Amino acid sequence: MTATTITVNPTTEQVLAEIAAMLADVLADIGPHSAEIAMGTSFNDDLEFESIDMVSLAVLLNARWGERVNFAEFVAGKHLDELIALTVGELVYHVVDGLAVTQAGRR
């Protein structure tokens, strides 16, 4: 995945597009996958993510946004049933919120 410039207060659509690209990278390592990545896409049911895939995604998220969107902290606060039901949209909102807080803290 190529590096991109950081957008101040990116939109939900921009973050979704970046996360979709990250997921495509992770999924490419698994093999062919035809699931469309949208806000309602489930990591478990739709993408069939396993824990190692989450680790790969966490590395990509950290490389892109650093600690501003701490993925490990995000998932650590969830119960098992919440992790199983986790959607791409929940992650997108977490990223958008994390970046907004960071931007607000810089003012």
Contact status, residue 88 vs residue 43, Cβ threshold 8 Å: yes
Mean pLDDT of the residues in the chain:
85
pLDDT at 77: 87
pLDDT, residue 107, reads: 47
State which amino acid sits at residue 96.
Answer: V
User: pLDDT per residue over 48-100, tens digit each?
Assistant: 999 899 999 999 999 999 988 889 899 998 999 999 999 999 999 999 999 98
- Look at phi and psi of residue 25 and say left if phi exceeds 0, alpha if psi is from -120 to 50, else beta: alpha
pLDDT-based confidence at residue 103 (cuts at 50, 70, 90): low
pTM: 0.83
Residue 29: what pLDDT?
A: 72
DSSP state letters, 31-94: --------TT-BTTTTT---HHHHHHHHHHHHHHHGGGG-HHHHHHTS-HHHHHT-BHHHHHHH
